[in-house]
Amino acid sequence: MSCCHNYYLATEGHESVFSVDIAAISFGHGVLEEAGAQAKALGMTRVALFTDKTLASLPYVSQVRDAIRAAGLDVVVFDEVKVEPTDQSFLAAARFAVEGRFDGYVSVGGGSVIDTCKAANLYATWPTGDFLDYVNAPIGAGKAVPGPLKPHIACPTTCGTGSECTGITIFDLLSHRVKTGIASKRLRPSLA
């Protein structure tokens, strides 16, 4: 529990207490080598590993991929994540996820990678006739995510967005020239 003193002041007739739920967080040297064991513990057998082209050439991604394989799990890398994702890049990631029939997700990257992985998990697990169904109102319909998503382990390579701990995914909706998002506690990764 935290005391904010006078930082958060309630107004009369409105809620005065709020809570923040976050994913479980593992931190420290060697934590990436645990990705396979953690994925297995979450019930994953066929894993989609999301990253971007730049990170795919760095040792972090191969460390995680090798740890997943060492745990006896199948892993397929998607390295087409775009910096500043768009509805089109989310849809491409979702197509990859649907075609791959994955039962778990791991993301290695910054907010763009983690958000893209969240969206792919959502649209592969709960397909919808209209991409905007889950997008926050007033841009989209703001429909609730109907149930749990597949497990997702987020391995952030940057700090700042906090995407590994939130139920929010942000993207550019090209047709409207606006940055918007999808928000649901079900989007929050299982582990960071």
User: Where does the pLDDT of residue 83 fall: very low under 50, low under 70, confident under 90, or very high at 90 and above?
Assistant: very high
Report the SS3 class of residue 155: strand
Q: Does position 21 have pLDDT exceeding 80, yes or no?
A: no
CB 105 within 8 A of CB 121: yes
For the domain with range 31-187, which CATH number is right: 3.40.50.300, 1.10.10.10, 3.40.50.1970, 3.30.565.10? 3.40.50.1970
Give residue-wise pLDDT tens across range 44-77.
999 999 999 999 999 999 999 999 999 999 999 9
Query: What pTM, to 2 d.p., does this model score?
Result: 0.90
Domain boundaries, the chain: 31-187
% of residues, the chain, pLDDT over 70: 90
Q: End-to-end CA distance of the chain: give it in Å, rounded.
A: 21
* CB burial of residue 133 (10 Å; 0-12, 13-18, 19+): middle
Phi and psi for 78 in degrees, rounded to 5? -115, 110
